[in-house]
Amino acid sequence: MQIEFSFAIIQKRVIKRIFSLLPLKEAGVRDQKEDQLKMNKYEMLYILDAKLGDEAVEAQAEKYKALVTSSGGEVEKTDKWGVKKFAYPIEKKSEGFYVLTTFTAPPALPLEIERQMRVSDEVIRFMIINKN
């Protein structure tokens, strides 16, 4: 019992020492105002399944537009390029509907958009680029 107790105390002291040496930002503590003030410009290109109807394509575009605006961002432009043929088959498909969206948003938003696009069956491929 005595050995386990002393090991726990040493472990707590080591962890406390490590975190005291790290700057606050690296330790995971951030100023929320700093994150809210920092807005980056992004460009997002995604390919939807070509078999989707016009309403479904519009619904997907509105879904990601609403996600940007609800997190404090602003959508500048959404271009629907239409159905294009792929250079090679992707997921046994030869065509896809391309959508390009330009927006400004907080730095954490692209991770959430990527997470939702990975789960979506309608999105074949996507790419988000920081324009700053």
Instruction: Please state, for a pLDDT cut of 70, what percent of the chain lies above it.
Output: 72
Going 89 to 95 to 127 to 60, the CA torsion angle's sign is: negative
What tens digit of pLDDT does each residue of 11-51 get? 666 666 665 665 555 445 555 555 556 899 999 999 999 99
Give the list of residues 6+ apart from residue 72 with CB closer than 8 angstroms, or none: 36, 105, 106
In this structure, are residues 44 and 72 in contact, taking their beta carbons and an 8 Å threshold?
Answer: no
What are the C-alpha distances in Å from 109 to residues 10, 37, 103, 117?
39, 14, 11, 12
Q: Check whether 10 has a pLDDT greater than 70.
A: no
What pLDDT is stored for residue 132 in this prediction?
85
What pLDDT is stored for residue 38 in this prediction?
84
With cut-offs at 50, 70 and 90, classify the pLDDT of residue 74: very high
43 backbone dihedrals φ, ψ, rounded to 5°: -130, 125
Whose tokens are 């602003």? That residue is 74
Q: Check whether 78 has a pLDDT greater than 80.
A: yes
d(CA 60, CA 55): 9
What pLDDT is stored for residue 129 in this prediction?
96
d(CA 60, CA 120): 10
In this structure, are residues 29 and 74 in contact, taking their beta carbons and an 8 Å threshold?
Answer: no
